[in-house]
């Protein structure tokens, strides 16, 4: 089974072709990504209109490149998958429409993939990972703790009540005059800084429900920066180190709460998966390794290129769904908001 995956939910245009191996897991035949960082750097964040325009300009060429890299044609595919949300609606529509057109032309199954589900399932690409497991999803747009019980079967245990952790990294970088996207710049500065210099808050610490909050932490960094302005290079490094240390402490505390809830609602937890762009942060990865070692958990983190948005995760999610006989018709609409869990889905439709 070979599936083309298309990802256009934010500021990366991506197309990948993945093959299901007979022994389980997947083989990546092609993985093409076109980043838009240069287009958005001036603005310090993603501009939806610019992102949509960039997707239109490159998506066809990127898909052709994927076919060339994989050494196959459209007729050789078993299905075509696209991220149908959540994300910036302009970009989502472009990827979704492209996938539908290809599926119609080739008379192949079309699979509408939830971007969050793709992150949740990516760790299974290498094989050897069974359900259930605890997912920590940490990215620019999402921070969630999810019990992954099976394909399409998710229980959200906790989520951020305000900013996602990746968004907080970006905003801190902007406050301190660093580059965009902020995560790598903050991480680099933190390596040079003193994490104990600034006494920053650890939001939600000790709360029973495993929710997250990063808005107050972000504000605390800004207030400290204003208090000691003008900032020296050492000040910036110390602020970044103190911020990153607060994030790590907060994640560890929220994970402890999440494990308790997982045990109550699902059963004993043996494996934790970390996904999303923030999972590329080496300090956070090391801290999570320590946490899982102390908790007796197996930690699974996808390779760094698969932590950020990519077409491979969409193709693999398409394979997981197609293997179960799941596909979608051409009426499936782009969804700027698309909760992963059934409870969130019901609440979303109730509001609508």
For residue 343, the model assigns a pLDDT of: 58
Alpha-carbon distance of 113 to 98, in angstroms, equals: 14
The ranges assigned to domains in the chain are 2-123+306-351, 131-303
Burial class of residue 209, CB neighbours in 10 A (0-12, 13-18, 19+):
exposed
CA 114 to chain centre: 11
Query: Does CATH number 3.30.420.40 belong to domain 131-303?
Result: yes
What is the structure's pLDDT at 342?
Answer: 65
Q: Name every residue whose Cβ is closer than 8 Å to that of residue 304 and which is 6 or more positions away in sequence.
A: 279, 280
Find all residues with CB under 8 Å of 240, minimum gap 6, and list them: 172, 176, 186, 187, 189, 190, 193
Q: For residue 122, which of 256, 262, 319, 258 has the smallest C-alpha distance?
A: 319
C-alpha 15/C-alpha 55 separation (Å) is 11
CA gap 186, 184 in Å, rounded: 6
Residue 14, token pair as written in the block: 């991506």
- Say what the pLDDT of residue 37 is: 72
Q: Measured between alpha carbons, how far is 327 from 79 in angstroms, rounded to an integer?
A: 9
Looking at residue 57, its pLDDT comes to: 94
Candidates 111, 121, 100, 93; CA nearest to 2 is 111
Q: Which two tokens stand for residue 232?
A: 């020296």
Q: What angle do helix axes 233-265 and 215-228 make, rounded to 10 degrees?
A: 170
Per-residue pLDDT of the chain (352 residues; tens, 9 = 90+): 999 999 999 889 999 999 999 999 999 999 999 987 777 777 677 888 888 999 999 999 999 999 999 999 999 999 999 999 999 999 999 999 999 999 999 999 999 999 999 999 999 999 889 999 999 999 888 899 999 999 999 999 999 999 999 999 999 999 999 988 899 999 999 999 999 999 999 999 999 999 999 999 999 999 999 999 999 999 999 999 999 999 999 999 999 999 999 999 999 999 999 999 899 999 999 999 999 999 999 999 989 889 888 999 999 999 999 999 999 999 999 999 999 886 544 443 344 3
pLDDT confidence of residue 35? 83
Residues ≥6 apart with Cβ < 8 Å to 32? 14, 15, 16, 62, 63, 65, 66, 69, 311
The whole-angstrom separation of Cα 111 and Cα 83 is 9
Asked if the domains 2-123+306-351 and 131-303 are classified in one and the same CATH topology, the answer is yes
State the chain's maximal CA–CA distance in angstroms: 63
Q: What is the CATH number of domain 2-123+306-351?
A: 3.30.420.40
Q: What is the residue whose two structure tokens read 């609508």? A: 352
């Amino acid at each position: 089974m070979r599936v083309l995956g298309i990802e256009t939910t934010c500021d990366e245009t991506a197309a990948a072709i993945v093959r299901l191996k007979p022994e389980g897991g997947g083989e990546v035949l092609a993985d093409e990504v076109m980043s838009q960082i240069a287009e958005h750097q001036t603005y310090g964040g993603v501009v939806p209109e610019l992102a949509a325009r960039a997707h239109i300009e490159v998506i066809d060429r990127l898909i052709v490149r994927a076919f060339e890299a994989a050494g196959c044609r459209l007729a050789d595919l078993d299905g075509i998958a696209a991220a149908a949300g959540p994300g910036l609606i302009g970009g989502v529509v472009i990827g979704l429409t492209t996938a539908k057109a290809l599926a119609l032309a080739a008379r192949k199954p079309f699979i509408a993939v939830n971007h969050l589900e793709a992150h949740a399932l990516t760790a299974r690409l290498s094989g050897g990972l069974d359900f259930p497991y605890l997912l920590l999803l940490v990215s620019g747009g999402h921070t969630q703790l999810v019990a992954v019980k099976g394909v399409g079967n998710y229980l959200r245990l906790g989520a951020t009540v305000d900013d996602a952790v990746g968004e907080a990294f970006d905003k801190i970088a902007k406050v301190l005059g660093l580059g965009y996207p902020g995560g790598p710049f903050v991480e680099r500065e933190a390596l040079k800084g003193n994490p104990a210099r600034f006494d920053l808050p650890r939001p939600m610490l000790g709360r029973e429900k495993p929710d997250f909050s990063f808005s107050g932490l972000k504000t605390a960094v800004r207030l400290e920066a204003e208090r000691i302005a003008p900032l020296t290079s050492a000040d910036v490094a110390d602020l970044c180190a103190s911020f990153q240390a607060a994030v790590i402490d907060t994640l560890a505390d929220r994970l402890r709460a999440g494990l308790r809830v997982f045990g109550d609602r699902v059963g004993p937890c043996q494996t934790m998966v970390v996904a999303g762009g923030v999972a590329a942060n080496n300090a956070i990865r090391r801290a999570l390794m320590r946490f899982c070692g102390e908790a007796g958990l197996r930690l699974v983190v996808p390779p760094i290129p698969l932590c950020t948005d990519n077409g491979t995760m969409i193709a693999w999610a398409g394979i997981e769904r197609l293997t179960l006989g799941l596909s979608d018709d051409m009426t499936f609409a782009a969804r700027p908001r698309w909760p992963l869990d059934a409870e969130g889905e019901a609440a979303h439709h109730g509001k609508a």
